[in-house]
Amino acid sequence: MKSVVQVISVLIIWVASVAWAMATVLTVTGQAEIQVLPDQAQVTFTVLAQSDTAVSAKQQVDKNVEKIQQALGAQFKGLKLTSGQLQVSPIYASKPDQAPQLTGYKASRPVRIDIVDLSQLSVILDNAFQHGADSMAQIRYQNSHAKQLASKVRLKALHNAQQLAAQFANALGKKVASIDSIEYSGVNPRPLIMLRESKLMGVSNSYRSEQLTLKDSVFVHFTLH
């Protein structure tokens, strides 16, 4: 009886070994993207000032930042404005054969505005420039449903991996037996959002945004039999 059990055990091991040898390991990259229209924007302005002293330059910048915040805050309820770190640097004048001469100081401070109603974008930009903003550093278009869309595109990437695995298996005359492991970087809390924006040429203070493209990818390891 003992010898019979041993023989059966050997046969089971041999069959498992043969099955494993016949198995094919497949790794695919599932990819997906979703295009959506933006409904929000994050605008960053730079407020600048020059003066004979560093203190005076700082005071002028602070005054202009406060003026922008008061003007926009009074006209657009619920608007979120955030001022960044102040930077002050000396200004030098250079002449041939002479050491650089200190002529004054310049100060700058970024101001970020979170706009939840994209239809107000042009009006807000106009008001910001009228009340002391010197230049616009960036417009970052966003979508208020980014988290839900991130989950959707992630699932689409997984589904794409399954479709690719099935195609490879069919081409090899095999079937997908199992999913061995999934690799997902998770570096960012959401998939990358590709942003593109431009100012319409020939139309003053008019802005448009193109579609946002949300992308994600995942590595999936399959076993084929």
Are 48 and 134 contacting, i.e. CB atoms less than 8 angstroms apart?
yes
Q: Which residues of 18-42 are buried (b: 16+ CB within 10 A; e: fewer)?
A: eeeeeeeebebebebebeeebbbbb
Provide the pLDDT for residue 204: 39
pLDDT digits (tens, 9 = 90+) for 148-176: 998 999 999 999 999 999 999 999 899 99
Mean of the per-residue pLDDT values of the chain: 81
The pLDDT value recorded for residue 88 is 95
Counting Cα atoms < 13 Å in the Cβ hemisphere of 99 gives 1
**pLDDT value for 208:** 56
The CATH homologous superfamily to which domain 40-142 belongs is: Protein of unknown function (DUF541), domain 2 (3.30.70.2970)
Interval 33-63: pLDDT, tens? 988 888 888 999 999 999 999 999 999 999 9
Q: Is 69 helix (H, G, I), strand (E, B) or coil?
A: helix
- Residue 30 · residue 205 · CB < 8 Å: no
The partner residues of 138 in beta bridges, in order of sequence, read 44
Q: Are 207 and 140 in contact (CB under 8 A)?
A: no
**pLDDT for the residue 1:** 53
For 7, the token pair is: 């023989």
- pLDDT tens sequence across 179-215: 999 998 754 434 344 444 433 333 334 555 668 888 8
Give the pLDDT confidence score for residue 219 in this predicted structure: 94
Length of the chain: 225
pLDDT tops 70 at residue 145: yes
pTM: 0.65
CATH of domain 24-37+146-224: 3.30.110.170
Higher pLDDT, 145 or 186: 145
CA–CA gap between residue 30 and residue 9 (Å, rounded): 40
Which one-letter amino acid corresponds to residue 76? Answer: F
Domains of the chain, by residue range, sit at 24-37+146-224, 40-142
> For the ranges 4-8, 76-80, 136-140, which has the lowest average pLDDT?
4-8
Average pLDDT over residues 100-107: 93
Longest dimension (CA), the chain: 107
pLDDT at 197: 41
Provide the 8-state DSSP code for 171. Answer: H
Alpha carbon distance 113, 139 (integer Å) = 10
With contact defined as beta carbons under 8 Å apart, do 113 and 138 qualify? Answer: no
User: Mean pLDDT, to the nearest integer, of 10-15?
Assistant: 40
